[in-house]
Structure 1
Amino acid sequence: MQSTKPGAFRALAMAATAMALGGLCALASAQAKDVKIGFVLPLSGGAATIGNQTKVGAEVAVAQINAAGGIKSMGGAKLVPLFADSQSKPDVGVAETERLITRENVAMVVGAYNSGVTFPATELAERYKTPWLVTGAVKDEITERNFKYVFRPNNKATYDAREQLDAIDMLKKETGKGPKTIGLFYEGTDWGRSHSANVKKLAKERGYQISLDESYPPNQSDFSAQLLKIRATKPEALIVVAYTPDHILFTRQFNEAGVYVPYGVHSVGGGSEDPNFYKAVSPKTVENMFVQEDFQIDIMRATKDAASIDADKRFTAAIGYSINAYGGQGVSNVYIVKDALERAGTADREKLRAALAATDITSGPALITGYERIKFDENGQNTFAHGVISQNHGGERRTVWPAANRLAGVTPVWPLPERR
């Protein structure tokens, strides 16, 4: 029998060690790694209630996903949300975005609700080649800069304005009555300016006259001067763009002044979708007010999606009221992230960007916001995004547009009864 030389033993030992090390490396690479997702939201300041509702919605979705086994294509990797407070300030939002990307090494960023924050922060994310999923911000130009890393599932400002005027046109057609003049009263940052520009363009195309074009600085302490202008210009319909604190004050003073607008106040989301707004004002002061909603509040409970039903229960337990537009967006955003991660199979930013670009969601809790589909165009805009128009009836918001979305027994009040 031939003996084995000492050198052969050493070679065999080295090969065995290499195989063992290789096996350990393979095992380590198979271990699921947590995926850090950054969120830039207004957690303090004028839009804090909205930012915190979005945060709770996101936390609810993260808890659901992690409890269900995490990202299965990544070996059960868990989502780790990192929240940063923009304070509704562009410079703070940009600084926090850079911190999340460069220091926290997040896979992607979700945010930032305020258009004035989202617009510059997404420019920074694009430079760092870090995917950004927009939540809430509607400024058209956010997805009109040929960016490759920015994706928006919700409406852009053009869609919001179009829906408001579509509702006015529909009610005018249904009743044979409607406004000839429209007033614009809006907060003076990116959101308000973008919305007013779109309304003016569409109003001109549809034959409406703009009788008032008035912006105001955010966090104003008194609207008396602007209310005098509204009374003097006598708009037959008034479109309002305001965050929660401003909307509360304006609504109170508008009603105290007894201003009559025959075809109503038409608010474009913002403060008028915030439950805290309705806690702060009497139901009588908002009776018959129209709201452009990002979430069909009066039929959401009809959903049969188990995850959405569970999300509503968790959200209610955490915050004290049922899920709304902002909580719903938080839930939806996280499920969009999950969908992209599952298909990418990695938290690599480039592969995650490619997965987001290929998104096509037609079912599940990502659609809790009411969209039938989420699919991004070449600019990163979900062209299937839409809202509804509700009207406040007896302390409840009831969908009136589109007509097909009205619940049985809902009849729009048009025109409004005169003040007595």
Structure 2
Amino acid sequence: MTSNSRVSRRLVLQAGAASTILGAPGLLLAQPKAVKIGLVHPVSGALAYSGSQSRFGAQFAIDEINAAGGIKSMGGAKLEAALGDSQSRPEVGVAEVERLHQEGVSAYVGCFSSAIALPATQAAAKYNTPFMIDVGVSDAIVSRGLKNVFRLAPGNGKCVDDAFAGLSDVNKAAGGPAKTAVIVHEDSEFGTSTAKLLAGKLSGIGLEVKEVLKHATPTRDFSNLVLRIKSLKPDLVIISNYQNEYVLLARTLYQQKAEVAGIFSVLGGGFNYRLVKEQPEVAQYMMDFNHWYNPKNAKAQAMRKAVEAKGNLFTFEVYCSYNSVKCYADALERAKTDERAAAIAALEASTWFPEVMPYGPTKFVNGQNTGGRAVLLQATKTDIGVVWPNEFAEAKPVFPRPKVS
């Protein structure tokens, strides 16, 4: 082969390679760097069920955003979940925040538990990293002046106020059968702070607090506590605790045939479809004021079907975490970068509308979304429905509850 033929062959090969590359222009362009979101949830330990539901909801939103083309203003950058497990312990939550920082996360979503969220958000504040609180209702989370912390859902202060407005309306409509109450709460930040708010405001709707009873998390036996409740003969039992203890206490009240006008909770950790599915007799007529989806919204109904098609239950943890990721993604679209200060500024100016929830447009004031609201729910043997306020209600409340046979 002559020198000229070798040169000609090389030119032909180079031209062919160039043609191939030009025919696939994506090969010439660097793919945008993924935006890492640290998911800090308790997927082991006492809070594992709720933490796993939270993680599921966040991943559901990430997958949906990526399938729709990623963050378009950032060249289609995909979101990537960096998984953390707080093991239901505050100190581990802090350690996971630090570890995920080393992995280069641009934001955090978590923590389900207020007791974990308080130190975890403080750790993230050192790096000015946005932290979206999906579930964690203590108002101390957003009252410390941390500029990196944002919460879409209402905290326990607003929830207690709104819950008592709903309970008062229900009680008055029934002729006022409830006049006394016993409060039962778990002993961490969530239960303690909520119980304090409850006890301070029940008199405002004409209810006398007979006693406030505290229990540890975890608790394996509520027999003695329920005997104490029965001896006090309250009209209402108002509970504030997490999944396992919530269900166990409700079951013990049912088994011991505690005769009360109602079992009511504010932000009840175990009031969900799992309770209705597994223990329908226990769940029937129980009432809870909590985060919930908008039952009259078509997208919310479609999302519930999609979640259930994956073999999961549509609990509040799922859509609270889903919305937290969606809100952050909206901020990225407007900021056109995941640079922390710019993303925080975009979140502060957010007007994003979480249509699957009974919310108005987002407006953060000191990190708290003032457009968020919870609703009053009641369980039947087969489902859970909104009973207050009227604009979202699917049914009328049954109150007082029929006597346990």
TM-score calculated relative to the size of structure 1? 0.85
The residue that corresponds to 2:298 in the other structure is: 304
Matched, 1:416 2:401: yes
The residue that corresponds to 2:269 in the other structure is: 271
For the residue of structure 2 that corresponds to 1:36, the secondary structure is strand
The residue that corresponds to 2:363 in the other structure is: 375
Q: CA deviation at 1:128?
A: 2.0
Q: CA deviation at 1:411?
A: 2.8
AA aligned opposite 1:287: Q
The residue that corresponds to 1:16 in the other structure is: none
The residue that corresponds to 1:290 in the other structure is: 287
Q: How far apart in 1 are the matches of 2:331 and 2:310? A: 27
| Equivalent of residue 354 in structure 1, options 328, 331, 345 | 345
Contact persistence 2:277–2:382 (CA under 8 A): no
For the residue of structure 2 that corresponds to 1:404, the secondary structure is coil
Q: 1:211 to 1:29 in 2, by over 3 A?
A: farther
Matches within 5 A, 1:84-95: 84-95=84-95
Spell out, residue by residue over 1:55-98, the C-alpha distance to the aligned partner (whole angstroms, 9 max, x if none).
Answer: 11211211111111111111110000111111211011111011
The residue that corresponds to 2:49 in the other structure is: 49
AA aligned opposite 2:311: I
Contact persistence 1:325–1:369 (CA under 8 A): no
Matches within 5 A, 1:50-199: 50-101=50-101, 103-199=102-198
AA aligned opposite 1:369: M
For the residue of structure 1 that corresponds to 2:359, the secondary structure is coil
Matched, 1:398 2:388: no
Q: CA deviation at 1:155?
A: 1.4
Q: CA deviation at 1:117?
A: 0.2
Q: How far apart in 2 are the matches of 1:292 and 1:277? A: 15
Q: How far apart in 2 are the matches of 1:47 and 1:228? A: 27
For the residue of structure 1 that corresponds to 2:270, the secondary structure is helix
Q: How far apart in 1 are the matches of 2:98 and 2:402? A: 52
The residue that corresponds to 1:33 in the other structure is: 33
Count of residue pairs the alignment pairs up: 379
The residue that corresponds to 1:327 in the other structure is: 318
Show structure 1 runs of 5+ residues with no match: 1-26
Q: How far apart in 2 are the matches of 1:265 and 1:404? A: 24
Contact persistence 1:60–1:314 (CA under 8 A): no
For the residue of structure 1 that corresponds to 2:347, the secondary structure is helix
Q: 1:280 to 1:313 in 2, by over 3 A?
A: closer
Q: 1:90 to 1:293 in 2, by over 3 A?
A: same
Q: CA deviation at 1:374?
A: 1.6
Q: How far apart in 2 are the matches of 1:228 and 1:394? A: 26
Q: 1:43 to 1:56 in 2, by over 3 A?
A: same
Q: How far apart in 1 are the matches of 2:245 and 2:278? A: 12
Q: CA deviation at 1:313?
A: 4.2
Q: 1:414 to 1:135 in 2, by over 3 A?
A: same
Q: CA deviation at 1:335?
A: 0.8
Q: How far apart in 2 are the matches of 1:352 and 1:390? A: 35
Q: 1:153 to 1:28 in 2, by over 3 A?
A: farther
For the residue of structure 2 that corresponds to 1:182, the secondary structure is strand
Q: How far apart in 2 are the matches of 1:29 and 1:148? A: 36
Q: 1:270 to 1:206 in 2, by over 3 A?
A: closer
AA aligned opposite 1:152: R
For the residue of structure 1 that corresponds to 2:269, the secondary structure is helix
Spell out, residue by residue over 1:264-322, the C-alpha distance to the aligned partner (whole angstroms, 9 max, x if none).
Answer: 001233433333333432x12222110213114xx53x4234xx56644442232344x
For the residue of structure 1 that corresponds to 2:214, the secondary structure is strand
Q: 1:376 to 1:30 in 2, by over 3 A?
A: farther
Which moves more between the two structures, 207-216 or 366-375? 366-375
Contact persistence 1:151–1:376 (CA under 8 A): yes
For the residue of structure 1 that corresponds to 2:368, the secondary structure is coil
AA aligned opposite 2:116: V
Q: CA deviation at 1:248?
A: 2.1
Q: 1:123 to 1:320 in 2, by over 3 A?
A: closer
Q: 1:314 to 1:398 in 2, by over 3 A?
A: closer
Q: 1:194 to 1:136 in 2, by over 3 A?
A: same
Q: CA deviation at 1:236?
A: 1.2
For the residue of structure 1 that corresponds to 2:298, the secondary structure is coil
Contact persistence 1:34–1:77 (CA under 8 A): yes
Q: RMSD between aligned alpha carbons?
A: 2.0
Show structure 2 runs of 5+ residues with no match: 1-26
Q: CA deviation at 1:258?
A: 1.1
AA aligned opposite 1:140: D
Q: How far apart in 1 are the matches of 2:257 and 2:273? A: 24
AA aligned opposite 1:223: F
Q: 1:417 to 1:278 in 2, by over 3 A?
A: closer
Contact persistence 1:391–1:397 (CA under 8 A): yes
AA aligned opposite 1:406: A
TM-score calculated relative to the size of structure 2? 0.88
The residue that corresponds to 2:375 in the other structure is: 388
Matches within 5 A, 1:334-345: 334-345=325-336
AA aligned opposite 1:250: L
The residue that corresponds to 1:21 in the other structure is: none
Q: How far apart in 2 are the matches of 1:30 and 1:201? A: 59
